[in-house]
Amino acid sequence: MRLIGKGDLTSLLFIPVIGVLSWFSSRSKDALVRCLAFADLRLSGRKRQRSAARLHQALADRVDRSQEGAIIEESFYEFWREPFSWKLCRDEKAQVRTAEIAGLDHLRAALDHGKGVILWESSVFGRRALTKHILHANGVAVCQVHAEHHLGGLLTGTWVRERVIRPFFDKCESVSVSETVYVPRSPSLTFGRALAGRLRNNTVVCVAGDGRDGQRLFPVSFLGGTALFATGMVSLAKATGATILPIFCVPSPDGGARVIIEA
Q: Alpha-carbon distance 238 to 11, whole Å?
A: 39
**Cross-strand partners of 119:** 206, 245
Which of 96-100, 179-183, 186-190, 253-257 is predicted most confidently?
96-100
Angle in degrees, 0-180, between the axes of helices 65-81 and 45-59, rounded to the nearest 10? 120
Closest alpha carbon to 142 in 173, 104, 167 = 173
pLDDT band at 109 (very low <50, low <70, confident <90, very high): very high
* 216: confidence class by pLDDT, cuts 50, 70, 90: confident
**Taking residues 111-136, what's their average pLDDT?**
94
Tell me how far apart the alpha carbons of residues 101 and 104 are, in angstroms, rounded to a whole number: 6
The whole-number average pLDDT for the span 57-70 is 86
Give CA–CA dist 28/42, Å, rounded.
21
What is the arithmetic mean of pLDDT over 122-141?
93
For the beta carbon of residue 85, count every other beta carbon within 10 angstroms: 23
What is the per-residue pLDDT for 49? 93
What residues contact 55, with CB distance under 8 A and at least 6 apart? 63, 68, 71, 72
Mean of the per-residue pLDDT values of the chain: 89
Contact between 251 and 100 under an 8 Å Cβ cutoff? The reply is: no
